[in-house]
Copies of this chain bind each other. A is one copy, B any other.
Amino acid sequence: MSLNTFGQLFRVTTFGESHGAAVGGIVDGCPQGLPLQEEDLQEALDKRKPGTGGAATPRKESDTVRILSGTYNGLTTGTPIAFMVVNENQRSSDYDTLKDVFRPGHADWGFFQKFGMRDHRGGGRSSARETIGRVAAGAIAEKLLATAGISVRSATIELGGIPVQSIDLEGAYDRPFYSADASVVEAWEARVQEARKNNDTLGGIVQTEAWGVPAGLGEPVFGKLDAMLACAIMGIGAVKGVEIGDGFAAARATGSSNNDPLLPGGAFASNHAGGILGGISSGQTILLRAAVKPISSIAREQSTVDIHGAPVTIRVGGRHDLSAIPRCVPVHRAMAALVLADMLLLQRRLGRS
């Protein structure tokens, strides 16, 4: 949960920047005996590739993943699973005009203040390409979760201010924008066209659910399941808000309307809590939403400063997506899966899962 490693027992460490030799990561702590092929990672990675849905850049990357260690005869061995994707199609010169300028709304400024230097090309370490490591690791986490009957899904439920009318997460990957609802796709496409015409960008909301999570995951105080999920999801680029269950609406509810009555058999009459009570899973569906801000790279003139502190104006061209959605959707799913895998292993220490 610090620096470049996430998780306590099921841990991923990612590496790589957009214009270095490769990006990837190491999953450490994955139990032995899980079926795992490069195809499993590739399938997940292909979901975050450019060209998916109407908001993406035309940039082409093959993003072929290779597993370097940790499997034998198609099974995990319990040792670290390293994987990488070689960076191709890097046109560093695209970024030459940005060399000495801080882009508004971007990590540039803070990164430079932090380290006193930066690799300005394509966002460097702050590039969305870093999420390749997360998505591949999430796919491994899902292999573990599957053995416990747990599955995780994410979908877009709002784009450019237009919410979905209904929510079906399972089919989202088959729809444009990874939408939870086919009926809004046309309106979203119009909204995207409009933004593109305005040289502007859009934000939206991503919903993530976890099904089949047994009651008892999460720790009562600092390792609360909702706290870990909030950490994981807020740590995705462009996310500015996270809600569990009713979220901010719960702040306006009363106790009598917000409480979820328990029913015999471990069921509940409602799920305002989003499947987590006191930081521990209740056995209901885990439900969370994340606010994704509009991408900060816009093809409009903006005021900013250069590294010498002088005011300048920039116009960020290059091959940029119009929204982090839908390419970030698999990242939300992956981060939620990583948290749940970690919590599942943590719970096993108690001899109760």
Are B221 and A130 in contact (CB-based, < 8 A)?
yes
In the complex, chain B residues whose CB is within 8 Å of the CB of A69: 15-17, 20-23
In the complex, chain B residues whose CB is within 8 Å of the CB of A240: 226, 243-248, 250-251, 273-274
A223 at the interface (CB under 8 A from B): yes
Are B291 and A251 in contact (CB-based, < 8 A)?
yes
A102 at the interface (CB under 8 A from B): yes
Are A68 and B294 in contact (CB-based, < 8 A)?
no
**CA of A29 to CA of B69, assembled, Å:** 23
In the complex, chain B residues whose CB is within 8 Å of the CB of A345: 349
Are B115 and A78 in contact (CB-based, < 8 A)?
yes
In the complex, chain B residues whose CB is within 8 Å of the CB of A9: 9, 346, 349
In the complex, chain B residues whose CB is within 8 Å of the CB of A68: 15-16, 20-22, 24, 84
Nearest B residue to A217, CB-CB: B114
Given contacts A11-B5, A291-B250, whether A110 and B277 have CB atoms under 8 Å apart is yes
A-B contact pairs, 17 of them (CB 8 A): A1-B231, A3-B29, A13-B80, A16-B69, A21-B67, A22-B82, A78-B350, A104-B261, A104-B262, A105-B258, A114-B215, A230-B242, A246-B293, A249-B291, A251-B293, A259-B298, A264-B310
Are A107 and B294 in contact (CB-based, < 8 A)?
no
Which listed residue (B32, B115, B348) contacts A348, Cβ 8 A?
A: B348
Q: Which 7 residue pairs spanning A and B have beta carbons closest together?
A: A107-B278, A110-B280, A227-B235, A201-B255, A231-B231, A105-B259, A113-B215
Are A114 and B350 in contact (CB-based, < 8 A)?
yes
**CA of A115 to CA of B218, assembled, Å:** 11
**CA of A352 to CA of B345, assembled, Å:** 12
In the complex, chain B residues whose CB is within 8 Å of the CB of A250: 203, 240-241, 291, 293-294
